[in-house]
């Protein structure tokens, strides 16, 4: 589904990612773990087209997408759930969700939009209850659900999630991860960046460890979970 080869990216003259390569197979759930500042957000934003890489290739279902805009990548099935949710605070829950389907609202609202709204509300009943409320009034967990729902409205094949557990209570984190696992079980390919290595490795088939902009380990999630070095550095054990 996604093939990243020797990707170099950063900000101006500062290179943050140094030749990063990784693979997400169709239907696979993959996580990237790493400390604060390792480059996880830079990686996901580069994959989504928000930062231009200086070198490397990004293949989505075999197609080179490195020169495409964010919306062209979305049209091909790649959607980002950004760090910090970034919901549109003054807009209602329903309007936020519709923004995720903006390509299908004009010039005429596609009938599929209503079906997709129903699908998101089935996944997150809490959002249905609050559909007319301003998104800024939701709890952190509800905003995370909304950010995921908004991405799903773009009908992605690959979902990029940037630290969905950030700032949420453990019970809410469990709920969010249960939803991510359900989406994956239903066939969605997932690439998840997390500082919460414990939750991430438990729910992903495969994991990569990113340190200072380089992939330093790659293995099955269960193997990384048992690895002494990973446990000491990222699980606090």
Q: What is the per-residue binding string for ligand ATP in 81-110, x denoting contact by CB under 6 A?
A: --x---------------------------
Decide if residue 164 touches ligand ATP (CB under 6 A).
no
**Cβ of 60: how many Cβ atoms within 10 Å?**
21
- For residues 114 and 97, the answer to whether their CB atoms sit within 8 Å is no
Residue 16 or 48 having the CB closest to ligand ATP: 16
In this chain, which of 4, 7, 16, 230 binds ligand ATP, going by CB under 6 A?
16
Nearest approach in angstroms of CB 95 to ligand ATP is 27
Min dist. Cβ of residue 99 to ligand ATP (A): 23
Q: Does 37 bind ligand ATP (CB under 6 A)?
A: yes
Nearer to ligand ATP, 40 or 150 (CB): 40
d(C-alpha 57, C-alpha 121), whole Å: 36
Site for ligand ATP in 173-232 (CB under 6 A): 195
Rounded CA gap, 34 and 202, in Å?
A: 15
> How many chain residues interact with ligand ATP (CB under 6 A)?
13
Question: Which residues, numbered 117-146, are part of the site for ligand ATP (CB under 6 A)?
Answer: none
Specify the stretch interacting with ligand ATP by CB under 6 A; choose among 11-19, 116-124, 151-159, 179-187.
11-19
Binder of ligand ATP out of 13, 14, 108, 171 (CB under 6 A): 14
Does residue 149 belong to the site contacting ligand ATP (CB under 6 A)? no
Kindly state the tokens that stand for 144.
């995370």
Residues within the interface to ligand ATP (CB under 6 A):
11, 14, 16, 34, 36-42, 83, 195
């Amino acid at each position: 589904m996604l093939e990243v080869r020797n990707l170099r990216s950063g900000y101006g003259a500062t290179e943050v990612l140094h030749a990063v390569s990784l693979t997400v197979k169709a239907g696979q759930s993959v996580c990237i773990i790493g400390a604060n500042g390792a480059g996880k957000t830079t990686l996901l934003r580069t994959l989504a087209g928000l930062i231009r890489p200086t070198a490397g290739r990004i293949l989505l279902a075999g197609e080179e997408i490195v020169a495409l805009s964010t919306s062209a990548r979305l049209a091909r099935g790649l959607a980002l759930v950004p760090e910090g949710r970034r919901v549109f605070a003054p807009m209602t829950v329903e309007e936020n969700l519709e923004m995720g389907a903006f390509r299908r609202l004009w010039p005429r609202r596609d009938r599929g939009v209503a079906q997709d709204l129903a699908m998101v509300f089935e996944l997150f009943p809490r959002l249905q209850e609050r559909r007319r409320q301003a998104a800024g009034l939701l709890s952190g967990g509800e905003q995370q659900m909304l950010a995921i729902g908004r991405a799903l409205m773009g009908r992605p094949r690959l979902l990029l999630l940037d630290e969905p557990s950030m700032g949420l209570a453990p019970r809410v984190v469990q709920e969010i991860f249960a939803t991510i696992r359900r989406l994956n079980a239903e066939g969605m390919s997932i690439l998840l960046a997390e500082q919460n290595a414990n939750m991430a490795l438990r729910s992903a088939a495969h994991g990569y460890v990113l340190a200072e902009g380089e992939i330093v380990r790659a293995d099955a999630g269960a193997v990384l979970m048992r690895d002494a070095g990973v446990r000491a550095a990222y699980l606090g054990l």
